[in-house]
Amino acid sequence: MSVKNEELRNIIAKFAESGWDLIDAPAKAWLDGTIKTEALIPVIEQAEKECGSCGCEFDPLYKSALQLLRA
């Protein structure tokens, strides 16, 4: 597994453990392979809109995940 893929999986795993309904179930589904990247990107974009500048640990992860998913 490439470093980029490992980094992405680690970020998505954090989302999956967040307990936030918006992002945890889709993240788990992506990790399980039951949804595609194209379905996860809008979820992360919405999470970034709602939480991307609140100062929590996830703020920088949204941008990183989106960049890695689009690469």
Residues 8-17 pLDDT 10s: 999 999 999 9
What's the length of the chain?
71
pLDDT level of residue 1 (50, 70, 90 thresholds): low
Locate the domains of the chain by residue range. Answer: 3-70
Cα–Cα dist 19/70, whole Å:
25
Beta-carbon contacts of 56 under 8 Å, excluding residues fewer than 6 positions away, are: none
Angle between helices 3-16 and 21-32 (to 10 degrees): 140
pTM for the structure as a whole: 0.91
Residues 26-70 pLDDT 10s: 999 999 999 999 999 999 999 999 998 888 999 999 999 999 999
DSSP symbols for 26-65? HHHHHHHTSS-HHHHHHHHHHHHHHHTTSSSTTHHHHHHH
